[in-house]
Amino acid sequence: MNSITRHPRSRLLWLALAFTLFTDLAPAATYQVGNIVTNFTLVARRAFTRPDGTAVPAGAAVNLRDFEGRIVFLEWFAVWCPYCVAAAPQVKTGIVDFYAARGGNPYGVPVLHIAVNQEANASYQAQTDSFITQQGFSPVANDYGPGLGTNRVRFTFQSSGQPIFAVINGVTNSPSHQPWQLLVNHLGYGQTDFNATLAGIRAVIDTVQSPAPPPQLTVPKRNGTNFEFNFTALSNRVYRVQTSTNLTNWTTWRTISNVTGSVLVRDTNAPSSGRMYRAVTP
């Protein structure tokens, strides 16, 4: 009986293995979600001002690394592509305006949208310009330019097709994600409701945490055997309060889920001296 059941199963395993090998080998290497995206360069199609206040004239290089501290939402489009045309206003409502109204994601990380034109053919440029104006794209870049080839950046995300939506974490010291980590790599408008696709993308964007400022321990007080201090940190984060007698070896004394941002911490069994306290993120 064993041999009967084992046989098809092992065959299935081989098939699965073969499938994995082929799917891994077949396409040209494109970024997968979770990969770290190396710096790339696009060309500013229109002048804009970078988040740090730097003015970027049309034709200047636009580097991924210029947007540190942001969640970068890239949208490749072509004016002749019906699904790009249909997607653009939905992205504006569901991503650009959505996060502008909320001052960023729930952790306060700003979301920066960059529209990227993929169509280099000269005969399309006038139509492309009116489309950009109609959609209010800014910043807007071209995925081509002198010395850059055409669509080289685009093809590192998807080997073909459009529109492409890529989301990259630009928060370099985020506790949740690595710097320049790829969060979303989506091709196409899809057969289902595109607003649902955008909701899924927002759910990912919303997990990017801002760098946590160090928690502060203030107003220490002794009260009999009690030792108290105020603990102030970002809300909705988990911290560990540790103790030490020599500032070298620390042991976790308590874990605090800080909901409000500020709590009173009380050690009811503190020795008269020689116990040091600190708080760390997990």
Partner 1 sequence: MQRSVLSAVMVALFVETKLSRAASSTVTNFTLPKWQSTEQVSLTDYAGQIVVLDFFAYWCVPCRRASEEVETGIQKYYAGKKGNPHGVTVRVLSINIEKDNPKQTAEFIRQTGLSLVLNDADAALLEKFGAAGTPFLVIIDGTRAQKDTKDTRDFRVLYQESGFEGTKKLRQIIDGIKPPKAARAKSDDEQAAIEHATGPPVSHKGGVSFDALLADDIQITSTALTYGQKRGGTEWSLNYTHKTYDEDYEPFKQFDFLGTPEHLSEAYDGGQLSLRQSLHPSLTLLASVGGYEGFTDYRSLWLANYYKQQFAKFFPNIYERPDPKGFNTSGGLRWEYQPTTGFLEAGFLYAEDEIAPGYDRDDLGNALRGGKYLYTHSPYLKFENVLTSRLRTLHEFQFTDTTRRERRYAYRGSVNVALGEQWTGRVAGGYTSEDPALRAWHVGATLEFEIAPRWLVSVSGLYYTDTGEIENSLFISTAAPGLQTYQGGLGLRYAGESSSFSISAGPTFAKYEPVSLGTRPFTNLYQDRTWVAVQAAWGFEF
Q: Given the rule CB under 8 A, which residues bind partner 1?
A: 78-80, 82-83, 85-86, 118-119, 121, 123-124, 127, 131, 134, 151, 159-162, 189-191
Q: How far is the CB of 79 from partner 1 (least distance, A)?
A: 5
Q: How far is the CB of 190 from partner 1 (least distance, A)?
A: 8
Give the residue with the Cβ less far from partner 1, 28 or 219: 28
Q: Note if the bond before 8 is cis, omega within 30 degrees.
A: no
Q: How far is the CB of 141 from partner 1 (least distance, A)?
A: 17
Give the residue with the Cβ less far from partner 1, 64 or 78: 78
- Owner of token pair 């669509």: 151
* DSSP string for 187-231: ES--SS-HHHHHHHHHHHHTTPPPPPPPPEEEEEEEETTEEEEEE
Q: How far is the CB of 89 from partner 1 (least distance, A)?
A: 8
Phi-psi group of 280: left, alpha or beta (phi > 0 → left; psi -120 to 50 → alpha; rest → beta): beta
Give the residue with the Cβ less far from partner 1, 143 or 267: 143
Phi-psi group of 37: left, alpha or beta (phi > 0 → left; psi -120 to 50 → alpha; rest → beta): beta
Q: How far is the CB of 101 from partner 1 (least distance, A)?
A: 24
Helix axes 125-135, 82-91, angle to 10 degrees: 20
| Percentages (nearest 5) of helix, strand, coil residues in the chain | 30, 30, 40
**Closest C-alpha among 212, 158, 152 to residue 184:** 158
**Closest C-alpha among 63, 91, 55 to residue 148:** 63
Give the residue with the Cβ less far from partner 1, 159 or 223: 159
Give the residue with the Cβ less far from partner 1, 46 or 237: 46
Q: How far is the CB of 163 from partner 1 (least distance, A)?
A: 12
- In 90-163, which ranges are E strands? 111-117, 140-142, 144-145, 149-150
The pair of structure tokens assigned to 145 is 């330019």
Give the residue with the Cβ less far from partner 1, 189 or 227: 189
Give the residue with the Cβ less far from partner 1, 192 or 269: 192
Q: How far is the CB of 52 from partner 1 (least distance, A)?
A: 33
Count of positions (residues) in the chain = 282
